[in-house]
Amino acid sequence: MFKIGHKKKRKVRRQPARRTSSWNWQYPLYGMGCFVIFITILWTYLNWEPMLSSLQKWAVHQTQRAGFVLKDVVVVGRHRTSADEILEIIQVEYSDPLYAFDAQEAKEHLEKTPWVESAHVQRRLPNSIFIHLEETKPVALWQYQGKHTLIDTKGNIIEEQDPRQFSDLIHVVGKGAASHAPALIRSLDDFPALRKRITAVIHQHGERWDMRIDDKIDIKLPEDGLASSLQKLQELDEEYDFSQGEIMTIDMRFPDKLILRLTPEAIKRRQMSGRDA
């Protein structure tokens, strides 16, 4: 027999735990990366417009080298706006790069001029600019407070124009004449022979006008039924021949009667001939 002896326990010496540092080398690297990204974003934001502008200039230059340069400006609908004025407004010169031309900006500038009511502007490749103008049409001279002003088909004032150059237009007189004149002018367009003889039209109120024909006959028109009144007036002219100079006033304001007032000379002639005045 033999005894199994007990093994002696080995003493294990514990080594002191190493102290780990709380500092991580990744922190400064992470912070530096964030800083670089921030600076990049800031630089891009602050320099985006200059970068874009430079890119646009480069692109325009390339199109110019390719032959897309201005050689012709085509204008349709121009009657009162001069060609030199148009070129000055849109600010272009021969051989300018076509893609450098801003059609929308040119349109806005053209529509600010007195004679242009609306403008359509476009680039037409490879070498032209096309402009279609709708010019304002003068229809009457407005006389108010001793001043003469040109007005258009909407009753708007046409600025910066000499009214003496448009003395052949109908003269409308009175405070509210400008805004009410277009409707009157449209009605008179149906009676061209009568319209040519009108010296002035005086606005009274609303749609009520007094009219002077041949600079010697005053006509008081009704507020309603202007077209039918003008038709009646034309028939009276054919019947009585206003050019004879006997009629001084025609009052058409009353629906059931017409009042004619003769000149003093016509009354005297009728009395001497035994006719009713």
Residue 218 · residue 248 · CB < 8 Å? yes
Residue 70 · residue 95 · CB < 8 Å? yes
Residue 215 lies in a domain: yes
For 15, phi then psi, to 5°, come to: -85, 145
Residue 202 · residue 232 · CB < 8 Å? no
pLDDT category of residue 47 using cuts at 50, 70 and 90: low
- The domain tally of the chain equals 2
Among 115, 135, 155, residue at a domain's last position: 135
Asked whether residue 169 falls in the same domain as residue 105, the answer is no
Name the helix (H) or strand (E) containing 218.
strand 217-220
pLDDT category of residue 19 using cuts at 50, 70 and 90: low
Cα distances (Å, whole numbers) of residue 175 to 35, 195, 221: 71, 22, 18
Lowest model confidence (mean pLDDT) among 25-39, 43-57, 209-223: 25-39
C-alpha atoms less than 13 angstroms from C-alpha of 40 in its C-beta half-sphere: 6
Residue 126 lies in a domain: yes
Lowest model confidence (mean pLDDT) among 46-50, 111-115, 261-265: 46-50
Closest-CA residue to 105 (of 79, 93, 123)? 123
Range of the domain at 83: 72-135
Q: Angle at the Cα of 70 (from 66 to 73), degrees rounded to 5? A: 150
| Strand-pair partners of 121 | 131
pLDDT category of residue 30 using cuts at 50, 70 and 90: low
Asked whether residue 257 falls in the same domain as residue 142, the answer is yes
Cα distances (Å, whole numbers) of residue 12 to 5, 19, 106, 124: 21, 21, 95, 95
What's the gap between Cα 141 and its chain centre?
A: 21
Kindly report, residue by residue over 199-232, the tens digit of the pLDDT. 999 999 888 999 999 888 999 999 888 999 999 9
Asked whether residue 89 falls in the same domain as residue 147, the answer is no
Can you spell out the DSSP letters for 115-172? TEEEEEEEEETTTEEEEEEEE--EEEEEEETTEEEEEETTS-B--S--GGGGTTSEEE
CATH of residue 144's domain is 3.40.50.11690
pLDDT category of residue 32 using cuts at 50, 70 and 90: low
CATH of residue 105's domain is 3.10.20.310
Mean pLDDT of 100-108: 93
pTM across the whole model: 0.65
Residue 64 lies in a domain: no
Asked whether residue 105 falls in the same domain as residue 153, the answer is no
Q: Match 């009676």 to its residue by tokens.
A: 191
